Amino acid sequence: MMLRNDERIVIRAERQVFRNSVDVYVFVEGPDPEKIGIAQPLTIETIDRFSSIGEPTMSLRPQIAQDLMDELWRCGLRPTEGTGSAGSLAATERHLQDMRRIAFGTLEIDKEKKP
């Protein structure tokens, strides 16, 4: 399905604790506020391992892929590899700036006290 300029893909995820799953919903919003398109469940087709795969299951623009990642993060999923995140790095950088202000402020106070 090709999107028109007045349509956008919306992805939402919902954690289902009792089913031990994350449900993913894909919508298409268009100019009519009373109607949406909804993606239906995927079907899996068995092919020979060495055949051409063909078209991707889904192709997302970078912002939509980012929205999907944000939704999964909101559901509590984190990357398996690596540590930290952009948010925790930013918090660490702010903390480091605060510590520098405290340290250099203390040094300035010490310099003023000495004769």
- What would the pLDDT profile of 55-78 be if each residue is shown by its tens digit? 888 888 899 999 999 999 999 998
pTM score > 0.95 for this model? no
Own/partner long-range contacts of 73-79 (Cβ < 8 Å, ≥24 apart): 74/13, 75/13, 75/14, 75/15, 75/22, 76/15, 77/22
The span from the CA of 3 to the CA of 5, in Å, is 7
Domain boundaries, the chain: 1-77, 86-115
Taking only the tens place, the pLDDT of each residue in 73-113 is 999 998 886 556 666 778 888 888 888 888 887 666 555 55
Question: Distance (Å, rounded) from C-alpha 60 to C-alpha 66?
Answer: 9
